[in-house]
């Protein structure tokens, strides 16, 4: 319908093209890779901005562009792309963050010999992510989702000569694949029920009213609605991709990849794809058979907002809008809160809250700077799901956006630290870096405060506060709120701990390095070059500036995502203020505890135990070994799988192999019989016949000894005999 919609496909296509070009470029050509990739992304960013402006100008409208991919029989598989505030916002975020991470990688990867390949993979990944974000078909989304998984696999294993990296890549691939099976099944189920995989198709898409009513009405044997089953299956995919319990173990291991990869894929974008997916299909997860009266009840309120929008609309999402409104306007949303949430939302909320708590606790006891951030990511993703379940897409996506910026910032900062400390990742070997790396320190501090939820100035505060608020106001249960609150405290605590270890206190690097036998003369940690600090600064600025779109006073983002025109709200309700107070208290508690534990009693040497370790050793050990979840899997699924494998092996070798061997032996025996028959009867007969012929010929040929006189003698004898016979006759 507009120019922007028509050229939207360029956004993922450009990085894909760049990736294709780079994949054909010889490794020694390093010059063009980075400018090409960044240029493609920059162009995509501009288009995305235009698309965002387009989408925001009429936020309730969903513009979709569909076309037939292929046809089989009478049914056609259609794919297409969609432009609505959600996809536009994600497009802008992904192109922007990815662009700056690309810039950062110029510095970080400058020494790597596979520089070009790195950018090839990065571009491929970005292209796939953009495809996920803008696709209007679950099929296309799934395809891009899998390409993303592939790119993630390739990038985690980028340094594949390290066994740990290769193992981590494999692990990531397999764990996400477990979730993807759910995704695939849900998709198939959806197709079977509705006959389409398009999300929006002028009333015929599977996220629109007709299909949702049908899905909510269709129940399977256990009484569960088809929509619930499908949503739960799709949530499996999201769990795998976004590293939620119980499939979260791959994400911390994925930190074996280069740090920009961790920043881009495993913090900012890819892992958020699961959250995005659930936000995208939120109408599906909220659709209930009993939602009908609510639709009618809220219809007048929505009708005023939507009456002016003629084209394709999210007409089937009144429940989600109601939730969004509940988050934004809690005082008015009391009526909605009384209806109990659907099973899908319950599952999502519990999984999210548990993940947030567990991962943040584990992060407290880690020493690897990137691993801390990885668990932090898992924890924040849990927050997002919690927000998504309790407050609707706007709440979850707001945290997704803010998190993308500050977590990318933190990872890049960690990358800068690692780069400056000569590939050192253990925070016990750092310390006192704020003097040597001031720019990194400053930006890292901004990211840390945003993550921990320092009030008012930092975007993370507002988004997390909103999640806590909506969880508090949730009609289902208060427990997720409590878990989230503890997680928030733990978040502030482990970030303080990390800051204390990395940037304050004496530097603890050198002696340990010499102990380890490093031959290279270790220089002092140094600040990273401009090409690396500049992205840090930009991202830090964004981490602060993003505040403006989501404060309770001006909830622009929520309005836009809910399909309303943004409005400025004069008064702030008591509930919001209460939630803010709680989250400020939580953050403060975390900071104070962290301060007491780490800043006052600074660790002076590498071997100094962690204060908490000396205090509560048993719990510490549990947390340090990450809750023994890997071991648990090894003990449970691993053993079962191995046993099943052995059983199959046994089955194969003894039963099937026995059968095969029997058949083989039977065939062999038959062949032997045939051979014996041949050899002793047929061949024997022939051979004997031949031999006798030969022998008789030999005997006959004895006469033919070549002696002519003998022949003549015989002739003469015969002649004499003939003569005698004639005479005596």
Partner 1 sequence: MPTDVILWILGGLILISAVMSLALRNLIHCALFLMVCFLGLAGLYLHLNAVFSGLVQALVYVGAVGIILIFAILLTEGGGTETGSHLGSQWRTGIGLAVLLAFALLGAVSNSPQTTQAARHTEEPTVREIGLKLMTDYLLPLQTIGLLLTAAAIGAVVLAMQEPKPRKDETP
Partner 2 sequence: MTFYLALSVLLFCVGLAGVLARRHAIMALIGIELMLNAANINFIAFWRHSSAADDLSGMFWMIFSVAIAAAEAAVGLALVILVFRHRRSVRLDELESLKG
Name the site residues for partner 1 (rule: CB under 8 A): 709-710, 712-713, 716-717, 719-720, 723-724, 726-727
Q: Nearest approach, Cβ of 724 to partner 1 (angstroms)? A: 5
Q: Nearest approach, Cβ of 709 to partner 2 (angstroms)? A: 6
Could you tell me whether strands 63-72 and 75-83 are parallel, antiparallel, or unpaired per DSSP bridges?
A: antiparallel
Secondary structure of residue 422 in the 3-state scheme? coil
The site partner of 195 among partner 2, partner 1, none (C-beta below 5 to 8 Å per kind) is none
The site partner of 704 among partner 1, partner 2, none (C-beta below 5 to 8 Å per kind) is partner 2
Q: Which is nearer to partner 1, 673 or 716 (CB)?
A: 716
Secondary structure of residue 306 in the 3-state scheme? helix
Q: Which is nearer to partner 1, 27 or 723 (CB)?
A: 723
Q: Which is nearer to partner 2, 53 or 703 (CB)?
A: 703
> Of 16, 17, 272, which Cα lies nearest the Cα of 131?
16
The site partner of 708 among partner 2, partner 1, none (C-beta below 5 to 8 Å per kind) is partner 2
Tokens representing residue 10 in the block? 């360029």
> Of 669, 152, 114, 95, which Cα lies nearest the Cα of 404?
95
Fill in the DSSP letter of residue 8: T
When asked if residue 726 is in the footprint of partner 2 (CB under 8 A), the reply is no
Q: Which is nearer to partner 2, 311 or 703 (CB)?
A: 703
What are the angstrom distances between the C-alpha of 178 and each of 22, 175, 236, 247, 538? 31, 5, 8, 8, 37
Q: Residue 36 contacts by C-beta under 8 Å, 6 or more apart in sequence?
A: 18, 21, 22, 119
Rounded Cα distance, 304 and 567, in Å: 15
Q: Which is nearer to partner 2, 545 or 690 (CB)?
A: 690
The site partner of 724 among partner 2, partner 1, none (C-beta below 5 to 8 Å per kind) is partner 1
Rounded Cα distance, 621 and 365, in Å: 8
Q: Nearest approach, Cβ of 706 to partner 1 (angstroms)? A: 14
Q: Nearest approach, Cβ of 665 to partner 2 (angstroms)? A: 50
Q: Which is nearer to partner 2, 651 or 719 (CB)?
A: 719
Rounded Cα distance, 28 and 114, in Å: 8
Task: With beta carbons less than 8 A apart as the criterion, state whether 207 and 199 touch.
Answer: yes
What angle is formed at CA 261 by the lines to CA 280 and CA 12, rounded to 5 degrees? 50
Q: Nearest approach, Cβ of 700 to partner 1 (angstroms)? A: 20
Rounded Cα distance, 506 and 435, in Å: 11
Q: Nearest approach, Cβ of 714 to partner 1 (angstroms)? A: 9
Q: Nearest approach, Cβ of 712 to partner 1 (angstroms)? A: 8
Site string for partner 2, 672-711 (x = CB under 8 A): -------------------------x--xxxxxxxxxx--
Q: Nearest approach, Cβ of 728 to partner 2 (angstroms)? A: 17
Q: How many residues does the chain have?
A: 729
Rounded Cα distance, 342 and 388, in Å: 13
What are the angstrom distances between the C-alpha of 196 and each of 47, 192, 287? 29, 8, 17
The site partner of 726 among partner 1, partner 2, none (C-beta below 5 to 8 Å per kind) is partner 1
The site partner of 727 among partner 2, partner 1, none (C-beta below 5 to 8 Å per kind) is partner 1
Q: Which is nearer to partner 2, 3 or 706 (CB)?
A: 706
Q: Which is nearer to partner 2, 655 or 716 (CB)?
A: 716
Rounded Cα distance, 423 and 416, in Å: 10
Q: Which is nearer to partner 1, 27 or 703 (CB)?
A: 703
How many binding residues for partner 2 (CB under 8 A)? 14
Phi-psi region of 62 (alpha: psi -120 to 50; beta: other; left: phi over 0): beta
Q: Which is nearer to partner 1, 162 or 713 (CB)?
A: 713
Q: Nearest approach, Cβ of 727 to partner 1 (angstroms)? A: 5
Rounded Cα distance, 51 and 401, in Å: 17
What are the angstrom distances between the C-alpha of 382 and each of 265, 325, 356, 395, 685? 17, 22, 5, 13, 86
The site partner of 700 among partner 1, partner 2, none (C-beta below 5 to 8 Å per kind) is partner 2
Query: How many whole angstroms from its chain centre is CA 587?
Result: 29
Q: Nearest approach, Cβ of 685 to partner 1 (angstroms)? A: 38
> Omega into 508 within 30° of 0, i.e. cis?
no
Q: Nearest approach, Cβ of 729 to partner 2 (angstroms)? A: 19
> Of 368, 374, 190, which Cα lies nearest the Cα of 270?
374
Q: Which is nearer to partner 1, 663 or 722 (CB)?
A: 722
Secondary structure of residue 520 in the 3-state scheme? coil
Chain residues in the site for partner 2 (CB under 8 A): 697, 700-709, 712-713, 716
């Amino acid at each position: 319908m507009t120019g922007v919609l028509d050229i939207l496909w360029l956004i993922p296509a450009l990085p894909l093209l760049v990736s294709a070009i780079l994949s054909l470029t010889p490794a020694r050509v390093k010059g063009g890779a980075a400018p090409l990739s960044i240029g493609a992304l920059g162009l995509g960013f501009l288009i995305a901005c235009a698309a965002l402006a387009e989408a925001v100008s009429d936020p309730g409208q969903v513009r979709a562009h569909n076309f037939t991919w292929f046809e089989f029989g009478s049914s056609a598989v259609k794919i297409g792309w969609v432009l609505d505030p959600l996809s536009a916002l994600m497009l802008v975020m992904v192109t922007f963050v990815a662009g700056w991470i690309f810039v950062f990688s110029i510095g970080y990867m400058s020494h790597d010999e596979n520089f070009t390949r790195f950018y090839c993979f990065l571009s491929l990944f970005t292209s796939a992510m953009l495809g996920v974000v803008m696709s209007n078909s679950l099929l296309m989304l799934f395809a891009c989702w899998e390409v993303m998984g592939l790119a993630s696999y390739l990038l985690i294993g980028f340094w594949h000569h390290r066994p740990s990296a290769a193992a981590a890549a494999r692990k990531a691939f397999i764990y996400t694949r477990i979730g993807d099976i759910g995704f695939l099944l849900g998709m198939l189920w959806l197709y079977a029920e509705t006959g389409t995989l398009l999300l929006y198709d002028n009333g015929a898409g599977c996220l629109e009213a007709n299909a949702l009513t049908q899905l909510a009405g269709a129940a399977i044997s256990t009484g569960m609605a088809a929509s619930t089953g499908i949503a739960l299956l799709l949530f499996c995919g999201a769990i795998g991709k976004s590293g939620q319990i119980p499939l979260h173990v791959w994400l911390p291991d994925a930190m074996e990849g280069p740090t920009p990869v961790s920043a881009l894929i495993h913090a900012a974008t890819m892992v958020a794809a699961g959250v995005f997916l659930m936000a995208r299909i939120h109408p599906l997860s909220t659709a209930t058979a009993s939602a009908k009266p609510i639709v009618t009840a809220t219809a007048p309120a929505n009708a005023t907002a939507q009456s002016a929008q003629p084209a394709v609309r999210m007409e089937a999402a009144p429940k989600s809008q109601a939730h969004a409104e509940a988050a934004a306007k809690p005082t008015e949303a009391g009526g909605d809160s009384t209806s109990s949430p659907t099973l899908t939302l319950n599952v999502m909320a519990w999984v999210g809250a548990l993940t947030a708590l567990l991962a943040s606790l584990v992060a407290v006891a880690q020493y690897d700077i990137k691993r801390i951030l990885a668990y932090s990511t898992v924890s924040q993703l849990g927050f997002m799901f919690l927000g998504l379940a309790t407050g609707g897409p706007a709440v979850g996506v707001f945290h997704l956006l803010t998190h993308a910026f500050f977590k990318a910032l933190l990872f890049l900062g960690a990358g800068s630290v690692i780069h400056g400390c000569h590939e050192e990742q253990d925070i016990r070997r750092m310390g006192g870096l704020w003097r040597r790396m001031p720019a990194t320190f400053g930006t890292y501090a901004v990211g840390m405060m945003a993550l921990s939820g320092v009030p008012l100035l930092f975007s993370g505060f507002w988004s997390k506060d909103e999640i806590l608020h909506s969880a508090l106001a949730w009609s289902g249960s208060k427990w997720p709120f409590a878990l989230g609150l503890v997680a928030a405290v733990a978040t502030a605590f482990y970030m303080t701990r990390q800051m204390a270890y990395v940037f304050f206190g004496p530097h603890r690097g050198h002696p340990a390095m010499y102990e380890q036998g490093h031959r290279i003369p270790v220089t002092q940690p140094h600040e990273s070059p401009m090409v690396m600090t500049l992205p840090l600064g930009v991202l830090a600025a964004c981490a602060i500036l993003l505040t403006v779109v989501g404060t309770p006073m001006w909830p622009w983002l929520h309005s836009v995502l809910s399909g309303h025109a943004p409005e400025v709200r004069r008064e702030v309700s008591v509930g919001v203020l209460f939630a803010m107070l709680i989250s400020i208290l939580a953050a403060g508690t975390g900071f104070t505890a962290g301060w007491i534990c780490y800043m006052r009693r600074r660790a002076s040497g590498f071997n100094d135990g962690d204060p908490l370790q000396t205090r509560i050793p048993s719990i510490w050990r549990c947390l340090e070994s990450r809750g023994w979840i890997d071991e648990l899997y090894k003990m449970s699924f691993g053993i079962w799988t191995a046993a099943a494998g052995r059983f199959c092996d046994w089955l194969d070798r003894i039963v099937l192999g026995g059968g095969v061997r029997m058949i083989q032996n039977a065939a062999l025996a038959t062949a032997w019989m045939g051979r014996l028959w041949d050899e002793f009867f047929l061949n024997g007969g022939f051979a004997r016949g031949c031999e006798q012929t030969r022998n008789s010929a030999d005997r006959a040929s004895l006469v033919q000894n070549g002696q002519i006189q003998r022949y003549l003698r015989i002739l003469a004898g015969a002649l004499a005999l003939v003569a005698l016979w004639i005479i005596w006759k």
